[in-house]
Chains A and B, each alone.
Chain A
Amino acid sequence: MDEVVLFSVYFPFLLAALLGWLFIPRVLILSHRKRLFDMPDERKTHDAPVPRLGGITFLPILLICVCLMTGIWVNKGMTFQTLGLDIMVIRFVLLFVGMMILYLVGVVDDLIGVSYQAKFLVQITSAVFFPLSGLWIHDLSGLFWINEIPAWVGIPLTVFIVVYVTNAINLIDGVDGLAAGICFVAFLTLGLAAKGHCILMIVAFGMLGILLPFWSYNVFGNIQKGHKIFMGDTGSLTLGYLVSFFLIYMASGSGVTFPREMLIIGLSTMAVPMFDIVRVVMARIRNHRNPFLPDKNHIHHKLLRTGIGSRWVMAIIVLVSLCIIIVTKCCVDLRIGNTWIVLIDVAIWLVFDYTVNYFIHHNHRLRYE
C-alpha cells in the first residue's frame, strides 16, 4: 500500500477510532456517576436522562492524533507538499487555539449553560482567526456570476460562513446521530477532496475515526443501561468549527492548490443544515418571533411529525445530504455553471421539504380520521 495513504488515511483513522472506543465509555461512566445529565425538556425528543458530554472527547483525541501523525510524518522525512512549514504551523495552531476556546465555552455551556449572546461573541472571535491566518474566500468562482471579491467583502463573508456553519450544526443536533452523520459524510467528502494535502487528510480522517465510535454510542446506545451519549454543545461547536475550517481552507486555495469549484463542493456538504436554518429563521420572522429562540420547526422535528422513527429521520436526512453532495459533484464534473448547481441543490431541497410537508398533512389526516 502507498505509504502516503497509509499515514494520512488509515493510521489517523484507526488511532482516533481506538482512542474513541477507549474514552467514550469512560465519559459515560463519569457523567452517570457525577450526574452530569441533560435533563429532558419539551424540545428534546428523549425521555430518560442522557449525558451530553460526548463532545468533550473530540478535541483532545483529535489533538493527540494530529500531533502524533504530523510528528511521525515529518520524522519520516515526508513533505507536506504544499506550503512551507511556517504557514502550515500558523494555520493549524490558530485552528486549534480557536477550537480550544470554543471547547471551553462548550463545556461550560453543557454543564451550567451560557447565554446565546456570549456564545455568538465567542464564535465570532474564533471565526476571525481564519482571516487572521490568511484564510478567506477571495474567489466565488462564478457563483452568482461573481469571481474575484475584494478583502473587505471576502473577510466578513468568511466570518459569516464560519458562524453560520457552526450554528447550523449546533441546531441540527436534535436527533440521535444526525449531526454526527452529516459531519461524517462531510468529512469523508472533504477528506477525499483534499487528496494530496496530507495534513488536511490527517485531520479529516482523524475526525472520522472519532465520529465512528461516537455515532455508534449515540445511535445504538441503550438509554436504560446508560450507554447513550449526546455530543452536546462542545461537540457541535468543535465539529462545526472544523468543518468550516475545511471549507474556508479549500475555498481560499481554490484555483491555486484546489480546483476552482472547491467552494461549491464544500458548501454542498453542509447544504441540508444551512438551507434548513434559512427556512426556520424565515418562518420565525414571518410569525413575529425571536429568531434566536428555539422551537420545534427544524427539519428533523418535521420529519418526526410525519410519524416515522428517529433512526429513519436520521437515515433520510443523511441520505438527502449525500444525494446533494453527489449531484453537486456530478454537476461540477459536467461543467454546469456554479449558479445553476446552487439552484439545482435548492430545488432538491425544496422537493424534499414539500414531500415532508405532504406526509405531515397525510399523517395528521390519518390521525384525525
Chain B
Amino acid sequence: MLYISLFVPFLLNIILATYIIPRILVVSVKKDLVIPSETKSKGRLRVPRLGGVSLFPILVISVGSTIVLLLSFFAESFLSMEDKISFVQYMFGMAGLTTMYLLGVMDDLLGVSITSKLIIQTLAASLIPMSGLWLNDLHGLLGIFELPAIIGMPLTVLMVLYITNAIPMLDDVDGLASGLAMIAFTVLGWLAYQAGEPLMMIVCVAMTGMLIPFFYRNVMVRRLGWRNIYLGDTGGLTIGYVLSIVVIILSRLGGTKLPDGVIMTCFGTLIIPMFDVLRVAVTRIINHRNVFLRDNNHIHHRLIQGGMRPMTVLVTILLISAFFVVFNIIGVWSDWNLSLLLMGDVIVWVVIQVVISYFKNKNRELINNG
C-alpha cells in the first residue's frame, strides 16, 4: 500500500507533466497566449506563463486514480464513514482549489483587479476553516497555546492568503517556485508519512512528481535549447493553496500523531517566501508605495543585484531553504522552545539579509566605479 501511494502518483505525474508541457507550449504559441511580463526581461523569446494550468488537472487525475486504486484493491480504507470530518475537509479543499484555479487562469490570460482577486481568494480561503480545519493550537509559539475559534479561524484565513500570495512572487527566477515547492512538499510528505495520513502523503508526492518536469525544463532550458515555460499565477495559486491546506492539516496533528510543536516544521518549509514577502511589504509601506504592485526588491532580485547569475541564485536560495528545514526539524524533534526556535530563524534570516545587502552595495560601487 505504501509503495502504491508513493510510486503511482509520482511516476504518473512525471509522465503526465512531461507529456502535457509541450502541448501547452504549442497551444500558447499557436494562439499567441505568450504574455510578456513587465519586470521580466530574459532574452528575446517571449515565455508563456501558462505552465500552471496543467497542475490542477494533473493533480485531480493522479490523486483520483491513486485513491481509487487504494480503495478498490486494499480493504483497509482511509475514508471510512466515521471519518466524516476529514471527508468534508477534502471536499471543501477541492472546491476552494477549483476556485483558485479558475481565478489563476483568468488572471494569467486577462488580468484580474487586485480587489476582486482578494475577494475571491478570501472566499476560497474561508472554505478551509469552515470545514473545521483551523489552527487551534500554537503549542507555545510566542507563549500562546490553545486558540479560541474566533481568533483561530481568521488567523487560518490570513495564513492561507499569505502563503497563496507568497508563492507567485517566486516565479521570477527559473525554477525557483517549483524548486522551493518541491522541497516543501517533500518534507511535508515525509511528515504526513510519519503521521500516518495517506491521503496527504499522496497529495504531497503527486505535487513533487508533477513539479519535477517543470523544474528540469526551467533549469536545463539554456543548455538544451528548449522553450521555457513559467508556472504563472495559476501555478502559484494552486501550489500555494495545496501547500497551505497540507501545512494546516499537519500542524493540527502536533502533539497527537506528530511531536509537539510540529507547526514550526510545517511553516519552516515556507520560511523564505513568507519572511521575504513580509520584508518587501514592510519596505513598500514605509516608502509609501502600493503594497500590491510588483517591484525588484525580492530576495532573488537582491541576489541578482549582488552580482550572482540566475542559476547561482537558484542554488543559493534552495540551500538556504534546505538549511531552514533541517534547522526546524532538529529544533522540533529535540523539543526546543518554539519561541526560541522562531527567534533563531529570524536571526539567521537577518544575518542573511545583512550579507546580501553588503554584497549588493559592494557590487553597486564596483559598477559605479567602472
Residues of A that sit less than 8 Å from B by CB: 23, 26, 29-30, 33-36, 60, 63-64, 67-68, 70-72, 74-75, 77, 84-86, 89-90, 93-94, 96-97, 100-101, 103-104, 108, 111-112, 132-133
Contact = CB atoms under 8 A, between A and B. Distances in A.
A90 B30 CA distance: 38
Given A71-B95, A93-B68, A111-B31, 19 more contacts: A35-B31, A64-B95, A67-B95, A68-B95, A71-B92, A72-B88, A74-B88, A74-B91, A75-B88, A77-B84, A85-B87, A90-B71, A97-B64, A97-B65, A100-B61, A101-B61, A103-B57, A108-B23, A111-B27
23 contacts: A26-B106, A30-B110, A34-B109, A67-B92, A67-B95, A68-B92, A71-B87, A71-B91, A75-B88, A75-B132, A77-B84, A84-B81, A85-B81, A85-B87, A86-B80, A90-B68, A94-B64, A96-B64, A100-B61, A100-B64, A111-B27, A133-B68, A133-B72
If over half of A's interface residues share one DSSP class (helix, strand or loop), that class is named, otherwise mixed; here it is helix
Contacts of A112: 26-27, 30-31
B77 A93 contact: no
Contacts of B33: 34
Interface in B68-89: 68, 71-72, 77, 79-81, 84, 87-88
Given A29-B110, A30-B109, A68 B91 contact: yes
Contacts of B87: 71, 74, 85
Contacts of B106: 26, 30
Contacts of A33: 110
B131 interface: yes
A285 B74 CA distance: 48
B84 A74 contact: yes
A100 to B, nearest CB: 5
A83 to B, nearest CB: 11
Interface stretch (B96-104, B167-175, B178-186, B225-233): B96-104
Contacts of B27: 108, 111-112
Which 4 residue pairs across A and B have the least CB separation, nearest first? A71-B91, A67-B95, A97-B64, A67-B94
Contacts of A68: 91-92, 95, 127
A29 B105 CA distance: 13
Nearest to A65: B95
A29 B92 CA distance: 29
